[in-house]
Amino acid sequence: MLAFEIQIDGKQEILAGESDWSLLSLHLTCNKASPDAPAESARVDYIDLSAGGLSEPDASGACYHFRWPRKNLKVGSVVTITIIETECADPPIKRYRSDREVQESPFTDQEVREMRWESYLELKKEFENVQS
């Protein structure tokens, strides 16, 4: 199978590939903070790399999105991507259907928990001094 071998600062981080792929992609994202953003997470600069893709249709015609963990980067990070053929790649952290009939969450249970925690902290900060 085709795969992306991703190294960050000389360390092997992800071998992204799926045998039934129809699309493999990499995204390098730089987000400039917005001091007035409602969510605290949007008020912080960040740079990250993500890998994902889409499967070919299965026997029932369903396609699946898949993705690997995001990797945080910093100014000066060296990212090396080698396109290889391999028999085995790292399993994606999430694989979910890509259709309207069956709606599946694109997030892992851990990611949902982390987002809920961030929301809790923001709400706690907003309401900590409010009297009912």
Task: Give per-residue pLDDT as tens, 51-94.
Answer: 999 999 999 999 999 999 999 999 999 999 999 999 999 999 99
Q: How far is it, in rounded angstroms, from Cα 25 to Cα 80?
A: 15
* Beta carbons of 39 and 74 less than 8 angstroms apart: no
Q: pLDDT tens, 82-120? A: 999 999 999 999 999 998 788 888 888 998 898 899 888
Which residue range(s) make up the domain with 55?
A: 2-106
pLDDT (average), residues 19-47: 87
Q: Residue type for 19, please?
A: S
Q: Per residue in 121-132, is it b (16+ CB within 10 Å) or e — as a string? A: eeeeeeeeeeee
Partners of residue 85 on adjacent β-strands: 2
Q: Is residue 64 part of a domain?
A: yes
Q: What is the pLDDT of residue 91?
A: 96
Instruction: Find the Cα–Cα–Cα–Cα dihedral 29, 34, 40, 41, rounded to 10°.
Output: 0
Q: Which two tokens stand for residue 120?
A: 């809790």
Closest CA to 21 of 110, 72, 85, 106: 85
Q: What is the pLDDT of residue 99?
A: 82
Q: Is residue 48 part of a domain?
A: yes
User: 53: part of which helix (H) or strand (E)?
Assistant: strand 46-55
Q: Is residue 132 part of a domain?
A: no
Q: What is the pLDDT of residue 125?
A: 83
Say yes or no to pLDDT of 132 above 70: no
Say yes or no to pLDDT of 131 above 70: yes
Q: Is residue 80 part of a domain?
A: yes
Closest CA to 4 of 73, 90, 100: 90
Q: What is the pLDDT of residue 69?
A: 95
The number of distinct structural domains making up the chain is 1
Q: Is residue 81 part of a domain?
A: yes
Model-level pTM?
Answer: 0.77
